[in-house]
Copies of this chain bind each other. A is one copy, B any other.
Amino acid sequence: MKYITFLLALVISLTTFAQNTSAENDSLALRKLYDMSLLNGKSYEWLDHLSNQIGGRLSGSIQAEQAVQYTKKELQKLGLDKVWLQPVMVPKWTRGTKEYAYIETKPGESKTVNICALGGSVPTPVNGLKAEVIEVQGLEDLAEYGKEQIEGKIVFYNRPMRANLIQTFEAYGGCVDQRYAGAAEAAKYGAVGVIVRSMNLRLDDYPHTGSMSYLDTPKDNRIPSAAISTNDAEYLSSLLKLTPDAKFFFKMSCRTFDDVQSHNVIGEITGSEFPNEIIVVGGHLDSWDLGDGSHDDGAGVVQSMEVLRLLKESNITPKRTIRVVLFMNEENGLRGGNKYADVAKQKNENHIFALESDAGGFTPRGFSFDCTDAQFKQVEAWKPLFKPYLIHFFEQGGSGADIGPLKNGNSVLAGLRPDSQRYFDYHHAANDTFEAVNKRELELGAATMTSLVYLYDTYGVEGFPTKMPFKN
């Protein structure tokens, strides 16, 4: 009995020792990764190039192509095991001449306002379009007004984002249907055009673009669709109360071309023990064209690249394959994300974990996990490791648009969750520029992502069969 007690005590103390040691090792590893990112990071320098040397990277543009070539070259410099381009056909839409719009209270009396075409919109007639305006608070209002009040008019969607929601993405989610489906719905009632209040919580002069879809609207019934700045939306709304027959004029020369070929940019460190267990980290290389796409999603791109650089530089030898994927065409098609998942499926690749950064380069707060409860328990046990870095947000929920297609029921998908308060001040607007990104905040995000990747590489994913035969 004594002997058994002794043995039991030994096993317990050895287990405790092993647990303490691994927790200590993990803690030291994270400290090293944060130090490297903050003291010798590359992410900010890469972002400077993407933003200031290349600029806005709309799918199908020369800048998008330059970004493909630049990031491929930079990944090659890191000495990864493989770097390659994955071909993908993407839509090509161009804004054309800067948009022009004014509100006319009576002939000869007008005020110019700030608008921009929504991505995918048809142009106005060459000489512009002028019509009366009907203001609505959402898609559901259209049926109420009916064809007799809407026909021949411009529909003005003006439901603002809810300022009292703490998570601004929730406020965005509650409004963006107006932008996405506004034209398709209004066309059913004979509207001739659509103006949408910018998805912005702040009152300012920037119109915010973003994707829209005509859904199943026949080609001849498609009407032009633009965003208006929040200040001008407020102005237009108050004006319509006094002057309901005021007219709105706008002129846009956007065009849709045939799809063109582009690429996802991919690099990997092949796993030393379980090379067929793949961990993906990524952001999207394309952006809208008004700013230089520093927050959306230059930040996510350079942070994802930095994950692999930090692992290399810190002499960590990943057991599993760590892959960075810079997705093309998140903004207006998601073709890159879909293509990557299609190819992965064809090749029967095992993606155990994917992490996306596409919520801006702000101070990281944590992650949102799309996973099972058991998998989430595994993650929650790692929370204490992140406390010194003020990373506290670990919640089950969505992950990211580009990695979404990888969902298979076994893998864990996660999204980095930075502070979101300022995000929609810049989102899809001309002020989404390099100056709006803080170097430290960007670097903290990269280190936070690398830390999570390190932990998944070290411990694998709960419930995922490890040590499967290496496929090649």
Contacts and interface: CB of A to CB of B under 8 A. Distances in A.
Contacts of A381: none
Interface string A376-412: 0000000000001110110000000000000000000
A422 B441 contact: yes
A201 interface: yes
A392 B444 CA distance: 18
A38 to B, nearest CB: 4
A444 B167 CA distance: 12
A35 interface: yes
A142 to B, nearest CB: 27
Contact of A388 (B34, B35, B166, B365): B166
Quick one: copies of this chain in the complex? 2
B419 A438 contact: no
A279 to B, nearest CB: 25
B201 A163 contact: no
Contacts of A388: 166
A163 B440 contact: yes
A222 B360 CA distance: 49
Interface string A425-441: 10000000000001111
A341 B393 CA distance: 39
Interface residues of A, number: 27
A160 to B, nearest CB: 11
Contacts of A421: 363, 438, 440-441, 444
Contact of A419 (B34, B163, B363): B363
B390 A365 contact: yes
Contacts of A97: none
Contacts of A168: 440
A168 B38 CA distance: 12
Given A166-B388, A421-B438, A421-B444, 19 more contacts: A34-B164, A34-B166, A35-B164, A38-B163, A38-B164, A39-B163, A163-B440, A166-B389, A166-B444, A168-B440, A363-B363, A363-B421, A390-B393, A392-B392, A392-B393, A421-B441, A422-B438, A422-B440, A425-B438
